[in-house]
Structure 1
């Protein structure tokens, strides 16, 4: 068994949490080919992404509270088992309806990884150290979305789109073995809670009255909505409209994820020195600036790959800082129900993102304009959430005391 505080355990938690980005990013280059193979339109294929996020959001409301009662490990085992079976269903789907069903089941199982990975970090490392550990976890996780589109493009080229889901099945099987054989249970027995509906609802009601929880959650959800708008529309904008090959798209996506990787490293390095809220002020300003630039270029009629990829690199640098700091801020004051807090955090994050992605698909006009405007609005909303809900509730500080706010 691994030691809970070992670097290897951080790597395992990062790998478990990476299931989310792998399940969304790896098949992005294949979306146009899937539409053609399944004899359907881009809107139906984009729906597989939005439906996944909606199912992911719904499942998160349950996996966290259940894990607060039975522990993180058994719930993750069940979740990864379901994800494995659902990935096989997607791989052999004869129609888009079967693919949609498989993606929804994938979401129900896959939610266990990110939700319980975050909760386990809070269980093991406490409120102060959790932000730094989450930052370095995010740096490790950044390898998943960086490599996933390139791997997906290669699989598409040589083996067809179904091979993407077969590889996801293999990943889930490996994670299941690690969970069963190597991972100890991170939740102490004395922290277990009831799964009675009144207790779960009371926890959610308590969280929704915390100004800091709502503020940090909306900062993250707005930034994630900008990322998801890109995930939902970028393959059609960059491949179909701007003429990039799937491989070129994968390279561009890797550059964008490099921005996210840089942001997470910066977040981990300066967590204690600058404090959570100063980092979030810097990051939300970057997201708002990058989104505004992308939207302005699109509205001005500049429809070129650099006008999308360049600003989105800056957006992802900001979001790389936002993600771990906002997660830690939302979970910090709630050790007694970290699973429920992580669930509600993820539910709001995914619901807002799924709605944004659905709107991008619905109003896609064949150019980059709809996607760019959505990303611009997301960046501005992230900044407004920080100013209106987090910064207004307490002065910005530059010390580790920031981590005890809320």
Structure 2
């Protein structure tokens, strides 16, 4: 059977060979990399962009918030479209729109143009992650899905480290605009490979007609499904942490601790190692015990992270090492919870995995926007308070909420 664009339909689950699924996994990881690089590459340049274009810290923080807010909203549109028209066309369209947004950011000379470029980037990026997760759900069994979703989490951690390092080097040697020209070139490479190599996983007979009322009904069912929401709630709090970190980290490390942009990127190695460790804990818990045990372990680790941040906030135990310990603990828990919760929530509506992944993406990326907006608001209201204290206070509350929701959500895992 062939798709409308002439390429054969391909479901790796039809051939369980390790090599086949490994090749499919590599494609998904590669496609997903563009949005992760796009979100993190310019972080070291934020203070410089603000100075060059006379943009305030709050407005520069808003470029992060608006990116993830638009990302989350348009994810709701991309999900039904992927269920109706197929996964491949959505991903290709998303990459093209993301490239256009990168060009707009690269030529920006004022805040409105930069903001417009970030919005266009977000619209394009919104078509990729949910669709990619739906392809994973189309293609694999439960163990494969958890494993690949875990690696997607690790990939996010890798680019959380690699993208700021690269962005720091690019900014220091070629100027901040070069970050967006790099995204243009990288996007073109990914687009070419995707067109040539990525195959469709959703056959026509499994597609849904694009209709507004049924879509709204499906989204309503998801939002009122205890299994869907409660299994995802701890991950929502983890993504609030991610948004808060993205907004606060450049100021904590570059301004407060006086690290260079490149050193700031290198400091995030702690995070990728922690997320990777959490991923292995997650897989081991599923293989030897159960999803429930893995979920509660992840929640418990994050509670320890909250205690570490409490030491920073209440007892003024400030320094790079205490901060890294607290961040590492949270990210280990994050890496443990994420693949289990994502797999469970999307499995509840497996027959509509595109829409389920879209709702999942909307809630999670919206949570990143919320975390970023909360940090920006707190920084504006407490301008004389060091950013590390503002960040720590917020994450104490987030850690406690994550632990409570993980214990409750573990009973609803599918």
Query: Is 1:120–2:157 an aligned residue pair?
Result: no
Structure 2 residue corresponding to 1:44, chosen from 59, 72, 89: 59
Query: Is 1:391–2:410 an aligned residue pair?
Result: yes
User: After the TM superposition, which residues 357-372 of structure 1 pair with which residues of structure 2 at under 5 Å, given as runs?
Assistant: 357-364=372-379, 365=383, 366-367=385-386, 368-372=388-392
Cα 1:137/1:240, change in 2 over 3 Å: closer
Structure 1 CA distance for aligned equivalents of residues 57 and 96 of structure 2:
30
Structure 2 CA distance for aligned equivalents of residues 363 and 209 of structure 1:
32
TM-score, normalized by length of structure 2?
Answer: 0.91
Structure 2 CA distance for aligned equivalents of residues 175 and 293 of structure 1:
40
| TM-aligned CA deviation for residue 269 of structure 1 | 4.3
User: After the TM superposition, which residues 134-149 of structure 1 pair with which residues of structure 2 at under 5 Å, given as runs?
Assistant: 134-149=149-164
Partner of 2:222: 207
| TM-aligned CA deviation for residue 106 of structure 1 | 0.5
Partner of 1:397: none
| TM-aligned CA deviation for residue 284 of structure 1 | 1.4
Structure 1 CA distance for aligned equivalents of residues 195 and 35 of structure 2:
20
Cα 1:140/1:65, change in 2 over 3 Å: same
Cα 1:140/1:356, change in 2 over 3 Å: closer
| TM-aligned CA deviation for residue 73 of structure 1 | 0.5
Query: Is 1:222–2:237 an aligned residue pair?
Result: yes
Partner of 2:366: 351
Task: Give the secondary structure class of the aligned counterpart of 1:142.
Answer: helix
Structure 2 CA distance for aligned equivalents of residues 287 and 227 of structure 1:
13
Partner of 2:320: 305
Partner of 1:268: 283
Partner of 1:15: 30
Asked whether the 8 Å contact 2:295–2:336 carries over to 1, the reply is: yes
Cα 1:295/1:88, change in 2 over 3 Å: farther
| TM-aligned CA deviation for residue 152 of structure 1 | 0.8
Structure 1 residue corresponding to 2:401, chosen from 345, 358, 381: 381
- Deviations for 1:349-371, whole angstroms, at most 9, x for unmatched residues? 12222112111011124511111
| TM-aligned CA deviation for residue 141 of structure 1 | 4.4
Runs of 4+ in structure 1 off by over 6 angstroms are none
Structure 1 CA distance for aligned equivalents of residues 118 and 32 of structure 2:
18
User: Which runs of 5 or more residues in structure 2 are unaligned?
Assistant: 1-6, 13-19
Cα 1:226/1:161, change in 2 over 3 Å: same
Asked whether the 8 Å contact 2:70–2:119 carries over to 1, the reply is: yes
Structure 1 residue corresponding to 2:268, chosen from 237, 243, 253: 253
| TM-aligned CA deviation for residue 376 of structure 1 | 1.9
User: After the TM superposition, which residues 103-182 of structure 1 pair with which residues of structure 2 at under 5 Å, given as runs?
Assistant: 103-182=118-197
- Deviations for 1:270-303, whole angstroms, at most 9, x for unmatched residues? 4322322211111111122213311331232233
Query: Is 1:100–2:100 an aligned residue pair?
Result: no
User: Which runs of 5 or more residues in structure 1 are unaligned?
Assistant: 394-404
Partner of 1:196: 211
Asked whether the 8 Å contact 1:133–1:268 carries over to 2, the reply is: no
Partner of 1:295: 310
Cα 1:333/1:126, change in 2 over 3 Å: farther
User: After the TM superposition, which residues 78-97 of structure 1 pair with which residues of structure 2 at under 5 Å, given as runs?
Assistant: 78-97=93-112
- Deviations for 1:183-204, whole angstroms, at most 9, x for unmatched residues? 1101122210121011101111
Asked whether the 8 Å contact 2:44–2:164 carries over to 1, the reply is: yes
Asked whether the 8 Å contact 1:135–1:324 carries over to 2, the reply is: yes
Structure 1 CA distance for aligned equivalents of residues 142 and 210 of structure 2:
24
Structure 2 CA distance for aligned equivalents of residues 39 and 31 of structure 1:
12
Task: Give the secondary structure class of the aligned counterpart of 1:18.
Answer: helix
Q: After superposing the two structures, state which structure 1 stretch, 245-254 or 191-200, moved more.
A: 245-254
Structure 2 CA distance for aligned equivalents of residues 207 and 71 of structure 1:
21
Structure 1 CA distance for aligned equivalents of residues 343 and 245 of structure 2:
25
TM-score, normalized by length of structure 1?
Answer: 0.92
| TM-aligned CA deviation for residue 4 of structure 1 | 4.5
Cα 1:288/1:21, change in 2 over 3 Å: farther
- Deviations for 1:373-402, whole angstroms, at most 9, x for unmatched residues? 2222222111111223x2344xxxxxxxxx
Partner of 2:3: none
